[in-house]
Structure 1
Amino acid sequence: MDGNQISMLKKIMEIEFTCIDLNLYLDTHPEDQKALQDYNYYSNQLSMLKQQYEQFYGPLMVFGHSQSQYPWKWVDDPWPWEIEY
Protein backbone atom coordinates (compact mmCIF):
# COMPACT_ATOMS: atom_id res chain seq x y z
CA MET A 1 0.00 0.00 0.00
CA ASP A 2 1.57 3.29 -1.09
CA GLY A 3 1.56 6.60 0.76
CA ASN A 4 -1.02 8.19 -1.53
CA GLN A 5 -3.45 5.32 -0.92
CA ILE A 6 -3.08 5.65 2.83
CA SER A 7 -3.50 9.42 2.58
CA MET A 8 -6.70 9.01 0.57
CA LEU A 9 -8.08 6.47 3.07
CA LYS A 10 -7.38 8.84 5.95
CA LYS A 11 -9.12 11.69 4.14
CA ILE A 12 -12.13 9.44 3.41
CA MET A 13 -12.34 8.52 7.11
CA GLU A 14 -12.11 12.19 8.15
CA ILE A 15 -14.87 13.27 5.79
CA GLU A 16 -17.05 10.29 6.73
CA PHE A 17 -16.71 11.27 10.39
CA THR A 18 -17.70 14.84 9.51
CA CYS A 19 -20.77 13.59 7.62
CA ILE A 20 -21.80 11.35 10.51
CA ASP A 21 -21.36 14.18 13.01
CA LEU A 22 -23.37 16.61 10.88
CA ASN A 23 -26.04 13.95 10.29
CA LEU A 24 -26.47 13.47 14.04
CA TYR A 25 -26.59 17.24 14.59
CA LEU A 26 -29.20 17.69 11.85
CA ASP A 27 -31.36 14.99 13.45
CA THR A 28 -31.89 17.37 16.37
CA HIS A 29 -31.51 20.69 14.49
CA PRO A 30 -33.27 20.12 11.13
CA GLU A 31 -33.80 23.87 10.54
CA ASP A 32 -30.07 24.73 10.65
CA GLN A 33 -29.42 25.78 7.05
CA LYS A 34 -25.66 26.24 7.52
CA ALA A 35 -25.29 22.73 8.92
CA LEU A 36 -27.32 21.34 6.03
CA GLN A 37 -25.13 23.21 3.53
CA ASP A 38 -22.04 21.81 5.26
CA TYR A 39 -23.49 18.30 5.22
CA ASN A 40 -24.27 18.51 1.51
CA TYR A 41 -20.82 19.93 0.76
CA TYR A 42 -18.98 17.19 2.66
CA SER A 43 -21.27 14.49 1.32
CA ASN A 44 -20.39 15.60 -2.21
CA GLN A 45 -16.67 15.74 -1.35
CA LEU A 46 -16.88 12.23 0.11
CA SER A 47 -18.58 10.87 -2.98
CA MET A 48 -15.94 12.37 -5.29
CA LEU A 49 -13.05 11.17 -3.13
CA LYS A 50 -14.44 7.63 -2.95
CA GLN A 51 -14.88 7.60 -6.71
CA GLN A 52 -11.25 8.73 -7.19
CA TYR A 53 -10.00 6.15 -4.73
CA GLU A 54 -11.88 3.33 -6.43
CA GLN A 55 -10.53 4.33 -9.85
CA PHE A 56 -6.96 3.94 -8.58
CA TYR A 57 -7.19 1.25 -5.91
CA GLY A 58 -10.39 -0.75 -6.36
CA PRO A 59 -13.69 -0.94 -4.48
CA LEU A 60 -14.18 0.29 -0.93
CA MET A 61 -17.45 -1.56 -0.39
CA VAL A 62 -19.10 -4.69 -1.74
CA PHE A 63 -22.68 -5.98 -1.92
CA GLY A 64 -23.60 -3.66 -4.80
CA HIS A 65 -22.20 -0.42 -3.39
CA SER A 66 -19.07 -0.35 -5.57
CA GLN A 67 -18.30 -1.78 -8.97
CA SER A 68 -15.13 -3.73 -9.67
CA GLN A 69 -12.88 -3.97 -12.67
CA TYR A 70 -11.82 -7.39 -13.93
CA PRO A 71 -10.54 -9.40 -12.18
CA TRP A 72 -12.48 -9.09 -8.92
CA LYS A 73 -10.57 -6.46 -6.92
CA TRP A 74 -12.13 -6.76 -3.49
CA VAL A 75 -9.64 -9.37 -2.31
CA ASP A 76 -6.57 -7.49 -3.61
CA ASP A 77 -6.28 -4.87 -0.90
CA PRO A 78 -5.30 -5.48 2.69
CA TRP A 79 -8.10 -5.66 5.22
CA PRO A 80 -8.55 -2.53 7.38
CA TRP A 81 -6.80 -4.12 10.36
CA GLU A 82 -3.79 -4.95 8.17
CA ILE A 83 -3.16 -1.32 7.17
CA GLU A 84 -0.38 0.47 9.01
CA TYR A 85 -1.32 4.15 9.22
Structure 2
Amino acid sequence: MKPEKQLMLLRKIQEMEFVAIELNLYLDTHPCDDDALNDFNCAVEMLKKYKEKYECEYGPLLNFGFGGLSRQPWQWAQGPWPWEL
Protein backbone atom coordinates (compact mmCIF):
# COMPACT_ATOMS: atom_id res chain seq x y z
CA MET A 1 0.00 0.00 0.00
CA LYS A 2 1.06 3.58 -0.59
CA PRO A 3 1.61 6.04 2.30
CA GLU A 4 -1.65 7.82 1.36
CA LYS A 5 -3.59 4.63 2.09
CA GLN A 6 -1.73 4.22 5.37
CA LEU A 7 -2.67 7.77 6.34
CA MET A 8 -6.31 7.21 5.36
CA LEU A 9 -6.48 4.07 7.50
CA LEU A 10 -4.84 5.86 10.41
CA ARG A 11 -7.39 8.69 10.04
CA LYS A 12 -10.26 6.15 10.18
CA ILE A 13 -8.79 4.74 13.39
CA GLN A 14 -8.61 8.23 14.89
CA GLU A 15 -12.19 8.99 13.87
CA MET A 16 -13.55 5.76 15.36
CA GLU A 17 -11.59 6.35 18.57
CA PHE A 18 -13.21 9.78 18.83
CA VAL A 19 -16.68 8.33 18.23
CA ALA A 20 -16.14 5.58 20.81
CA ILE A 21 -14.87 8.05 23.43
CA GLU A 22 -17.76 10.46 22.88
CA LEU A 23 -20.33 7.68 23.07
CA ASN A 24 -18.62 6.32 26.18
CA LEU A 25 -18.95 9.71 27.85
CA TYR A 26 -22.58 10.01 26.79
CA LEU A 27 -23.36 6.52 28.11
CA ASP A 28 -21.84 7.46 31.48
CA THR A 29 -24.80 9.81 31.97
CA HIS A 30 -27.39 7.95 29.85
CA PRO A 31 -26.74 4.25 30.58
CA CYS A 32 -30.18 3.10 29.43
CA ASP A 33 -30.02 4.64 25.94
CA ASP A 34 -30.18 1.51 23.77
CA ASP A 35 -29.48 3.38 20.54
CA ALA A 36 -26.33 4.96 21.96
CA LEU A 37 -25.21 1.60 23.33
CA ASN A 38 -25.72 0.02 19.92
CA ASP A 39 -23.80 2.87 18.27
CA PHE A 40 -20.99 2.45 20.80
CA ASN A 41 -20.73 -1.28 20.16
CA CYS A 42 -20.68 -0.71 16.38
CA ALA A 43 -17.96 1.93 16.74
CA VAL A 44 -15.85 -0.38 18.89
CA GLU A 45 -16.21 -3.21 16.36
CA MET A 46 -15.24 -0.91 13.48
CA LEU A 47 -12.31 0.43 15.49
CA LYS A 48 -11.13 -3.10 16.20
CA LYS A 49 -11.28 -4.00 12.49
CA TYR A 50 -9.42 -0.85 11.44
CA LYS A 51 -6.70 -1.47 14.02
CA GLU A 52 -6.33 -5.12 13.00
CA LYS A 53 -6.04 -4.13 9.35
CA TYR A 54 -3.50 -1.40 10.12
CA GLU A 55 -1.36 -3.66 12.29
CA CYS A 56 -1.49 -6.47 9.75
CA GLU A 57 -0.26 -4.17 6.98
CA TYR A 58 1.99 -1.67 8.81
CA GLY A 59 2.89 -3.10 12.20
CA PRO A 60 1.80 -2.31 15.75
CA LEU A 61 0.17 0.97 16.75
CA LEU A 62 1.19 0.55 20.40
CA ASN A 63 4.02 -1.22 22.17
CA PHE A 64 4.38 -3.09 25.48
CA GLY A 65 2.02 -5.85 24.33
CA PHE A 66 -0.94 -3.57 23.60
CA GLY A 67 -0.45 -3.75 19.85
CA GLY A 68 -0.79 -7.47 19.31
CA LEU A 69 1.79 -9.85 17.94
CA SER A 70 4.85 -8.75 16.01
CA ARG A 71 6.31 -10.33 12.92
CA GLN A 72 10.04 -10.78 12.33
CA PRO A 73 11.99 -8.56 12.69
CA TRP A 74 10.75 -6.69 15.76
CA GLN A 75 8.25 -4.31 14.17
CA TRP A 76 7.99 -1.62 16.81
CA ALA A 77 11.51 -0.42 16.02
CA GLN A 78 10.75 -0.05 12.32
CA GLY A 79 9.40 3.31 11.16
CA PRO A 80 7.75 5.44 10.46
CA TRP A 81 5.78 5.31 13.66
CA PRO A 82 2.10 6.31 13.54
CA TRP A 83 2.77 9.76 15.04
CA GLU A 84 5.47 10.43 12.44
CA LEU A 85 3.10 10.19 9.48
TM-score of the alignment, normalized to the shorter chain, above 0.5: yes
> CA–CA distance in 2 between the matches of 1:6 and 1:77?
14
Aligned to 1:69: 71
- Offset at residue 38 of structure 1 (A): 0.2
- Offset at residue 49 of structure 1 (A): 0.8
Asked whether 1:55 is paired with 2:56, we answer yes
Aligned to 2:29: 28
Give 1:74's aligned amino acid: W
Alpha-carbon RMSD: 1.1
- Offset at residue 61 of structure 1 (A): 1.1
- Offset at residue 78 of structure 1 (A): 2.3
> CA–CA distance in 1 between the matches of 2:30 and 2:57?
38
Give 1:70's aligned amino acid: Q
Give 1:6's aligned amino acid: L
Q: Which runs of 5+ in 1 are unaligned?
A: none
TM-score between the two structures when normalised by the length of structure 2 = 0.90
- Offset at residue 77 of structure 1 (A): 2.2
> CA–CA distance in 1 between the matches of 2:41 and 2:79?
30
Q: Which runs of 5+ in 2 are unaligned?
A: none
Q: When the two structures are aligned, how many residues end up with a matched partner?
A: 82
Give 1:56's aligned amino acid: E
Q: What is the percent sequence identity of the aligned residues?
A: 48
- Offset at residue 27 of structure 1 (A): 0.5
